[in-house]
């Protein structure tokens, strides 16, 4: 049977979370009834490579899973290149990425495949997702950008909507063949290759937003970027420094400008920049304990990138530092609970 959807896991360390992730995939009602899917783990030469390999081989043998594959990169490619590598290995029409410490929510795959098969012109999809700490049945927050499932037509509005909202990688779905044709190394080391793909894909095809929680993300794991050649000197494994955050936001704007210049769709760059400003908190969330002078210096660098006239950028910068991470997280969670999802600002 031809593969319809390839579920790809870019892997670097975090071996202890691999089996729960595989269970969350293979225990899907869809996977128990169908075999037109494959699971690909793309291991990026991490210190835990042998352990990851052992887990996969034992899992395949114990569960008789013949559609579970692993690729071992000869070199440590880093986040962006490994994401491209994952997509390049797929044989399905669609590729869905899952973070290596996340979970696929119960029943998610049936809903996803049903929509994709009913709407073959979809080239990109993303979803609502939940955050959890230890128990995936006890969510500490839910991120839902729209209250209803929505089909988007290609164009500037779709590009602006999806661009920032695919930042959390689990549940990022692309038409694999089209994504392969868009493969580029222009933004390696920015950690946002999926934004590039989202923008370019939404210039030419339909997009879909799933309003149900489809994936579950751990809120306990520190980032592990900074090991690959394209990331060293900018990122430090275990957390983001101000320079890393500045590099990432600069990358977002470079990608946005490239999308507008390449697709010739007016308003994309300005629209994405405003949307980033309106929801700027995630890019400073882990910097709120910096000394005030260092924090202001970082904010000024952001401001000079083009955010100087964006009022909500300053609101996030000020309130974030005053309330700190715990306080601002609580405020955002309260607003989401009252609104039934993330408020739409300026879209």
CB distance 144 to 342 below 8 Å: yes
Going by the DSSP 8-state scheme, the letter that residue 121 receives in this structure is T
Taking alpha carbons only, the member of 50, 49, 48, 61 closest to residue 22 is 61
Taking alpha carbons only, the member of 211, 213, 212, 209 closest to residue 151 is 209
The total of other beta-carbon atoms located within 10 Å of residue 60's CB is 16
- Residue in the structure block whose two tokens are 């010739």: 264
pLDDT tens digit sequence for 318-336: 999 999 999 999 999 999 9
Taking alpha carbons only, the member of 262, 258, 166 closest to residue 208 is 166
State how beta strands 122-132 and 206-218 pair.
parallel
The average pLDDT across 167-172 equals 98
pLDDT tens digit sequence for 234-260: 999 999 999 999 999 999 999 999 999
Taking alpha carbons only, the member of 131, 170, 126, 143 closest to residue 21 is 170
The predicted pLDDT at position 345 comes to 79
The predicted pLDDT at position 346 comes to 65
Residue 145 has pLDDT above 90, yes or no: yes
Q: What is the residue extent of each domain of the chain?
A: 5-218, 242-339
Query: For residues 163 and 347, what is the distance between their CA atoms, to the nearest angstrom?
Result: 12
- pLDDT bin (cut points 50, 70, 90) of residue 340 is confident
Residue 176 has pLDDT above 90, yes or no: yes
Task: For 232-267, give the DSSP string.
Answer: TTT-BTTB--HHHHHHHHHHHHHHHHHHHHHH--TT
Residue 215 has pLDDT above 60, yes or no: yes
**Percent over 70 (pLDDT), the chain:** 99
Q: At what angle do helices 242-263 and 156-165 cross, to 10 degrees?
A: 160
Task: For 59-117, give the DSSP string.
Answer: HHHHHT-TTEEEEE-SS---HHHHHHHHHHT--SSEEEE--TT-EEPTTHHHHHHHHHH
Which CATH code for domain 5-218? 3.90.550.10
Residue 347 has pLDDT above 60, yes or no: no
The predicted pLDDT at position 344 comes to 81
CB distance 254 to 170 below 8 Å: no
CB distance 273 to 347 below 8 Å: no
CB burial of 213-234 (b: ≥16 within 10 Å; e: otherwise) equals bbbbbbeeeeebbbbbebbeeb
Among the residue ranges 74-78, 99-103, 148-152, 222-226, the one predicted with the least confidence is 222-226
**Percent over 90 (pLDDT), the chain:** 96
The total of other beta-carbon atoms located within 10 Å of residue 251's CB is 21
pLDDT tens digit sequence for 5-62: 999 999 999 999 999 999 999 999 999 999 999 999 999 999 999 999 999 999 999 9
- pLDDT bin (cut points 50, 70, 90) of residue 271 is very high
What mean pLDDT, rounded, does the chain reach?
97
Query: For residues 108 and 77, what is the distance between their CA atoms, to the nearest angstrom?
Result: 30
């Amino acid at each position: 049977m031809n593969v319809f959807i390839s579920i790809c896991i870019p892997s670097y360390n975090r071996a202890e979370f691999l089996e729960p992730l595989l269970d969350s995939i293979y225990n899907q009602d869809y996977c128990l009834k169908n075999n037109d899917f494959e699971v690909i783990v793309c291991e990026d030469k991490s210190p835990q490579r042998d352990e990851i390999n052992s887990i996969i081989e034992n899992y395949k043998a114990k569960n008789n899973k013949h559609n579970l594959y692993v690729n071992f990169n000869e070199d440590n490619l880093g986040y962006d290149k490994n994401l491209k590598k994952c997509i390049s290995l797929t044989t399905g029409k669609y590729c869905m990425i899952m973070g290596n410490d996340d979970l696929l929510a119960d029943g998610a795959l049936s809903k996803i495949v049903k929509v994709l098969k009913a709407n073959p012109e979809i080239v990109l999809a993303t979803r609502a997702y939940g955050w959890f700490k230890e128990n995936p049945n006890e969510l500490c927050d839910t991120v839902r950008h729209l209250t209803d499932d929505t089909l988007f037509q290609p164009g500037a509005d779709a590009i602006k909507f999806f661009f920032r909202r695919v930042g959390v990688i689990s549940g990022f779905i692309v038409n694999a063949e089209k994504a392969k044709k868009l493969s580029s190394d222009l933004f390696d080391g920015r950690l946002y290759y999926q934004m590039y793909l989202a923008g370019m894909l939404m210039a030419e095809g339909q997009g879909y937003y799933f309003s149900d929680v489809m994936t579950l993300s751990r809120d306990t794991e520190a980032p592990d970027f900074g090991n690959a050649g394209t990331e060293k000197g900018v990122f430090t494994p275990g957390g983001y420094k101000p320079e890393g955050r500045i590099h990432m936001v600069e990358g977002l704007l470079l990608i946005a400008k490239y999308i507008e210049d390449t697709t010739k769709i007016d308003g994309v760059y300005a629209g994405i920049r405003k949307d980033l400003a309106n929801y700027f908190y995630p890019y400073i969330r882990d910097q709120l304990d910096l000394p005030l002078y260092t924090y202001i210096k970082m904010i000024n660098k952001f401001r000079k990138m083009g955010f100087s006239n964006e009022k909500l950028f300053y609101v996030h910068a000020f309130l974030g530092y005053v309330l700190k991470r715990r306080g601002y997280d609580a405020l955002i969670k309260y607003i989401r609970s009252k609104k039934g999802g993330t408020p739409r600002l300026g879209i």
